Amino acid sequence: MVTVGSEQEHSVEITASPVRGPGNSISGTVVVFHDVSELRGLTRKMSYQATHDPLTGLINRREFERRLDEAMDSAHAEEAVHMLFYMDLDRFKAVNDTCGHLAGDNMLREVAALIKAEVRDSDFVGRLGGDEFGALLVGCPIEKARQIATDICNAVANYRFVWKDKIFNIGISIGLVEISHASGTLQDIMSAADSACYMAKQQGRGQVHVYSTRDEAVARERGDIQWLRQLQTALHEDGFELAVQPIIAMSGKADSGPAMEVLIRLSNGRGEADNSAEFLRPAERYQMMPQIDRWVINATLAAISGGEIKLSGRRSCAINLSSQTLGDESFLSFVVDALDRSGVPPAAICFEVTEGAILANVQHAQRFIEVLHGIGCEFSLDDFGSGLGSFASLKHLPIDYLKIDGTYTRNLRTDLVNQEMVSAMIKLARTMQFRIVAEQVEHQEDFDWLRDVGVDFVQGHFIEAPSKLGTTSTTGTYRTLNS
């Protein structure tokens, strides 16, 4: 850090190189100062997002699990006792389906505040995803934890969410699990809490249930085990389907960049597909994502080589990869072989990976990205903005695109926080020479704002909703939007 005058400070990187004279003697030194204030300022501006959920302000899942891991270490070392809550809202889907995502987002913010108000100052509350929350009560006896959980249930039951002319009452189901010296791994603890929450729902919703060893067996028998059988059948009998969603270039007609994203759907056996992708959660639990991602890649390459997916110019097709898949040592050779067999040029594929997936499998992910990028595949950093704590460690990877998390692409005319965040992301992306994709764009006003600030590509229901492969144009040319 260098101070300029009496007020300004600049961050600088200093490089010193010796100047060699006759006989390899050192006759001097060249010192180069590089002002990196702007880049570091942008990174600091966004660092809060590394540990917090942008919608509710609670800590995010990654940070929650990090603190849970620390609590487990203290329980194992000091025989301290902590409590974990796994909380799932009841009847939340009715709000989203009736009034849309904007209403759902507002309700989640309010519920997050309700939960936060009921726990102790020393406790941690996180949003684990969707309408699921977690709480870590450090050094809390079970009876006190049960009382706090009951208070949360009562607070949510008494809460009324008002949206325009509609009033909703919801509930929350809470599973409790004790963390002690006898606890297993983090995954064991989270699974136990999830199972206890499942049992709370089975008892009539809006209930509190303390975990017992029978819960996981019951939950698996009634719930996930059914998913497991369905997923195994789908893999063996080709029961999955592809859906596609277009990605358009803001400049009009682009000669490169992603033209669409492929999404996986599970057929219900009646010629219909479930658009919620709810099956992905049990698939992750049963470590089935590498198999499913292999299916997606084979199906996508077959659709491209067979003409079902048509890509103009040097446009590409985006495919999501899970964290489990990036950690699979054999996956790289599978992709290379699949490309060779299909005859599809590597440049036709853009893999979407999240920062979290990369950091969970750094060595495998780095080799995977570098090898495939080297033969022509493109890479996009997905959900950008949802967690940027270690972005500095990723900036040297050959990434082509940053995909702005959909949380920030809403209400851009009025939400000053989203405006600031998107502007900072764009500036950082330009510094790193990445192109930018904005996803989940649902309204004309948001589209116009993103176009005006220089986003390169846009995807979302405003452009076109995902549709089953074969039921819509996949040429990369879509309806013209008003400027």
Residue 28: is its pLDDT beyond 80?
A: no
Report d(CA 173, CA 323) in Å as an integer: 28
| Whole-angstrom distance, CA of residue 195 vs CA of residue 216 | 5
Share of the chain above pLDDT 90, in %: 42
35, 90, 194, 347, 477 from 172: Cα distances, Å: 51, 5, 13, 47, 45
Q: Using one digit for the tens of pLDDT, what is the confidence trace for 375-387?
A: 999 999 887 765 5
Q: Across residues 5-31, what is the average pLDDT?
A: 72
Q: Could you report the per-residue pLDDT of 89-121, keeping only the tens digit for each?
A: 988 877 877 787 888 899 999 999 999 999 999
d(C-alpha 172, C-alpha 31), whole Å: 61
* Packed helices 61-78 and 186-202: angle between N→C axes, nearest 10 degrees: 110
Q: Look at 94-103, 267-276, 411-420, 440-449 and tell me which has the smallest mean pLDDT.
A: 267-276
Distance CA 126, CA 112 (A): 9
Which tokens sit at 262? 């492929």
Max mean pLDDT range (92-106, 271-285, 328-342, 416-430): 328-342
Q: How confident is the model at residue 177 (pLDDT cuts 50, 70, 90)?
A: very high
Q: In the chain, which residues fall in CATH 3.20.20.450?
A: 229-468
User: What pLDDT, on a 0 to 100 scale, did the predictor assign at position 274?
Assistant: 59
Whether the pLDDT of residue 217 is over 70: the answer is: no
Give pLDDT, residue 479.
42
Higher pLDDT, 351 or 413: 351
* Lowest mean pLDDT across 14-28, 229-243, 332-346: 14-28
Question: Is residue 389 predicted with pLDDT exceeding 70?
Answer: no
Residue 475: pLDDT band with limits 50, 70, 90? very low
For every residue of 68-127, DSSP letters joined together read: HHHHHHHHHHH---EEEEEEEEESHHHHHHHH-HHHHHHHHHHHHHHHHHHS-TT-EEEE
pTM score, whole prediction: 0.61
Query: How much is the average pLDDT of 43-71?
Result: 84
Q: Where in the chain is the domain with CATH 3.30.70.270?
A: 50-212
Give 108-155 pLDDT, tens digit per residue.
Answer: 999 999 999 999 999 999 999 888 999 999 999 999 999 999 999 999
Q: Which residues pair with 3 in a beta bridge?
A: 9
Length of the chain: 483
Once rounded to an integer, what is the mean pLDDT over residues 35-50?
Answer: 68
For 184-200, how does the pLDDT look when each residue is reduced to its tens digit (9 = 90+)? 888 889 888 988 888 88
| pLDDT confidence tier of residue 229, bands split at 50, 70 and 90 | confident
- Report how many helices (DSSP H) and strands (DSSP E) the chain contains, helices first: 17, 21
At residue 478, the pLDDT reads: 44
- CB 179, CB 74: distance < 8 Å: no
Please give the structure tokens belonging to residue 239.
């029961």
Report the pLDDT averaged over residues 281-293.
84
The Cβ of residue 209 has, within 10 Å, a number of other Cβ atoms equal to 23
* pLDDT interval class at 418 (50, 70, 90): confident
Q: What is the pLDDT of residues 65-91, one digit of tens each?
A: 999 999 999 888 877 889 999 999 988
pLDDT number for residue 235: 87
* Res 406 pLDDT > 80: yes
CA angle, 298 as apex, 295 and 301 as ends, to 5°? Answer: 145
Q: Given a cut of 60, is residue 2 above it in pLDDT?
A: no
To which CATH superfamily is domain 50-212 assigned?
Reverse transcriptase/Diguanylate cyclase domain (3.30.70.270)
pLDDT of residue 113: 96
Mean pLDDT of the chain: 84
Could you tell me the CATH superfamily of domain 229-468? EAL domain (3.20.20.450)
Measured between alpha carbons, how far is residue 90 from residues 133, 361, 369, 373, 477 in Å? Answer: 12, 35, 40, 44, 41
The pLDDT assigned to 260 comes to 95
pLDDT of residue 386: 56
Enter the tokens of residue 98: 């009736």
Distance of alpha carbon 259 from alpha carbon 245, whole angstroms: 9
Contact 397, 369 (CB under 8 A): yes
What is the pLDDT at residue 405?
84
Lowest mean pLDDT among 2-6, 114-118, 229-233, 401-405: 2-6
Q: What is the mean pLDDT of residues 50-67?
A: 89
* Higher per-residue pLDDT: 136 or 237: 136
Judged against a pLDDT cut of 70, whether residue 399 lies above it is answered with yes
pLDDT at position 43 is 67
Lowest-confidence pick of 24-28, 83-87, 219-223, 456-460: 219-223
